[in-house]
Structure 1
């Protein structure tokens, strides 16, 4: 046997593709931290050198294990203290404290619009903190005086990025996986929800599509990024199926079961509602205008914290605010500081919180409003975490708006990540045992390691190529896909036995042309391949869910086998068995 014959062109093609498959799968040993998926173009983070595929392991020296620990560390890191500034104008000097906003707008250096915390500042601006202001340097000075914290990000490569900021990094992150393989809900764990749109008229395809888009947007805004949604029709009823890997049942149920109708009322009259119509901006991931504070023990032997975040109202909503506050009287018990009515917040007709209205806002078209609410827990840390969670939910509803239709949760299933890990381990074990079992049977029949060893190598190569292709096209590996892999490997064993039998039969019939033997074998293999395609393609085009996943994986597997691993296997046998 010559080594040159063993490593022919077909074998080298297989080896090269196996290398590409390993690169596509990209196995990793350390999975702590978060992976940078994208960096906003032109952001400060991009300018200082943060790039995609870097793994962040700590934030301000706090170790990061996953996305929740990263989010909590960022939220704590960007909280800033109010900063006092001195603004000098042609009308005098004004001293006040700022967080995320300098408090006024300029037009040709003339102050034309102010916020309620700026002590009624007016006139033409001269300086800020004794720095002379011009039309060209105003924005630079403004950025310098806004309070900031040092944010230090460390990566697994040993790099550190430290910079001043008051907002969350402009990057998108995900948990670090051991490989690039995307695991489906069955293996990764998460929640599957079956929803039915409810309306007093026949629901159209567009309404279902709009509802699905709003739900996806709401879940994305909340921070759940690995979402798959599709529509289905069962018994003439249009349904929406949502699959969210890594999400808990309680989180998903709480987010999607709410209609999401947010209302702010004064004296039981609506000032503004959630969504883009009335709300133009919601502060999020910015410690200067979205934070948790005032944590302490309450009378129920527990702890509570208060969250605050600012929003900006549209001109129409600001006018409604002015109209509803114009005729209110001053609360005598407040020493002239507040009006006698409060701004009450409701979510799906349930009371959330109430805010006092300062007398300076009476009859004013206020475009900036601060929203607040409580968080509770058995410890101070638990109360703080609950406050952040409640703030995130309320921000999500305000940004995404209410659902276009009512929905009924038909079914909600939660699959534990632990159960998913068990599925993965059992699947790997079953595939390995199957390969060993098949190899043992073939050895008993043919009594030759020259036949068995190439079969084992070919089967393992086939599995690796299928997984590499799945990683390349980002196909979710679930239980149906694993069944497809097993089916493809099973047909591979059949094809390899056909090749062996044709070679043996050729020897018995004294057919000395080796190519003729292989040709006869591949005629049978291609006939079986076409039959498999004919049975799988209908499932691919008309099937849904598990059936489609099984069909896709089976087609990919048998195609890789017929065009890559079977020819390489035939080359192996030719080098090992052909007599000189």
Structure 2
């Protein structure tokens, strides 16, 4: 009894926390510098937004690894720019599909992230270059350029270091309160930078992004700590955009925008409302059946099912999981696992009571003998979810991934509620009933 009371306290604490997280206007968590929003995240099909299809130019050789790396970098850049829940998936051999839930201006989102983002620190000697000037560099050439040479009206210069040599990037305010991008090189590159700046005091170090000059500062003194700033008349947005590009690396391949498709939220909202109504009706029918057929255990299972739904939704908000229509279907389907475990246990419980066991014996034996079936069915469901998630990742089917993820989370939570919550509540209910063995009607026998 004492153990069950302790379990009940744990259940009530988890229940209260889940209810708090599930509140529609939850303020989130803020402890010092740590801040966590607790919002329901809706996917593209429910919230509306934009879908963008990017392709690799036909003349560019590409591998699947290049394509996947580009998709990962684009996703990191997009979410770092504040466009939340953006997903980039590869599709086929040369296509990347980007999904922007809630977005309304595709160009504003795409422009900062579709750049190759190749940063170079170029030696331009005694020649300062104005921002925006296009130049050529020897980066990627078999032999470095020892002297600036003119090619097709442009000057080719020597690249000292590139963005790949950076250790960290951030946005700071300068002495005049202007926005600057602070950079720090890794130790090896820092030594190269120190040696070059020592030998070239009074000359110009030109900072180039995608072959266009950002700024061309003069080297006033040797830089010995591998740290510096990039100045270029930045606004807060442009400085942050550049920092994000540098922080998450350069794209291994150039990309073209093939199609931008706007998905309105009206159909998504209608689908969401109908799905929720269908789910509530299904929940009500199942709960009614459990209460009528299994009586007291069925009523306890209904309480556990409510606990399961609240806890699962709280986990979705806390991670957060982007809910799509298939994702909601996976969540509703996982309720079958929650009830399946309870039904197996209750049927074993009834068998033990028919065989003359006491309530305590029947509960212990029922759980013990039903466990192998519960374990195997849940493992099978998790393996299936894993296969579906892999399939969705490999073929760019994000909706399949959403279905698999919500199904797997639901299965795990359902197992917890069946083995911990239902068992604890049922034990407490039956402890409060006098001689329950003599009242078989309480168990639907």
Q: Which has the higher contact order (CA 8 A, sep 6+)?
A: 2
User: In structure 2, which of residues 48, 70, 89 is the aligned counterpart of residue 211 of structure 1?
Assistant: 70
CA distance, structure 1, for counterparts of residue 230 and residue 292 of structure 2: 80
After TM superposition, give the deviation of residue 566 of structure 1 in Å: 3.7
CA distance, structure 2, for counterparts of residue 287 and residue 559 of structure 1: 55
Say if 1:227 and 1:244, in contact at 8 Å, map to a contact too.
yes
TM-score (norm 2): 0.59
User: In structure 2, which of residues 402, 412, 415 is the aligned counterpart of residue 556 of structure 1?
Assistant: 412
Instruction: Decide which moves more: 436-445 or 272-281.
Output: 272-281
Q: SS of 1:255's equivalent?
A: coil
Say if 2:352 and 2:366, in contact at 8 Å, map to a contact too.
no
Q: Does 1:264 align with 2:133?
A: yes
Q: 1:568–1:250: structure 2 CA closer, same or farther, 3 Å change rule?
A: farther
Structure 1's unaligned 5+ residue stretches are: 38-50, 54-172, 292-307, 325-342, 374-386
CA distance, structure 2, for counterparts of residue 25 and residue 482 of structure 1: 19
Q: Which structure shows the higher helix fraction?
A: 2
Q: Does 1:284 align with 2:171?
A: yes
Deviations 1:418-455 (A, max 9, x none): 98888777666554443322233445557x5x455423
CA distance, structure 1, for counterparts of residue 341 and residue 425 of structure 2: 10
Q: Give the corresponding residue for 1:435.
A: 283
Q: Give the corresponding residue for 1:459.
A: 305
User: In structure 1, which of residues 528, 531, 537 is the aligned counterpart of residue 377 of structure 2?
Assistant: 531
Q: Give the corresponding residue for 1:568.
A: 424
Q: 1:190–1:366: structure 2 CA closer, same or farther, 3 Å change rule?
A: farther
Say if 1:310 and 1:370, in contact at 8 Å, map to a contact too.
yes
Say if 1:488 and 1:557, in contact at 8 Å, map to a contact too.
no
Q: Give the corresponding residue for 1:476.
A: 321
Say if 1:537 and 1:551, in contact at 8 Å, map to a contact too.
no
Q: Does 1:511 align with 2:356?
A: yes
Q: Give the corresponding residue for 2:10.
A: 16
Deviations 1:330-378 (A, max 9, x none): xxxxxxxxxxxxx9x99878x999x9x9xxx9xx6689885348xxxxx
Q: Does 1:52 align with 2:33?
A: yes
Q: Give the corresponding residue for 2:402.
A: 546
CA distance, structure 2, for counterparts of residue 510 and residue 369 of structure 1: 81
TM-score (norm 1): 0.48
Aligned pairs for 1:181-220 within 5 A:
195-197=54-56, 200-203=60-63, 205=65, 207-208=66-67, 210-212=69-71, 214-216=73-75, 218-219=77-78
Structure 2's unaligned 5+ residue stretches are: 120-131, 136-152, 185-192, 222-228, 393-400, 440-445
Q: 1:185–1:526: structure 2 CA closer, same or farther, 3 Å change rule?
A: farther
RMSD of aligned alpha carbons: 5.4
User: In structure 1, which of residues 482, 485, 493 is the aligned counterpart of residue 339 of structure 2?
Assistant: 493
After TM superposition, give the deviation of residue 553 of structure 1 in Å: 1.9
Say if 1:529 and 1:562, in contact at 8 Å, map to a contact too.
no
Q: 1:452–1:36: structure 2 CA closer, same or farther, 3 Å change rule?
A: closer
CA distance, structure 2, for counterparts of residue 35 and residue 524 of structure 1: 40
Pair member with larger Rg: 1
CA distance, structure 1, for counterparts of residue 350 and residue 165 of structure 2: 79
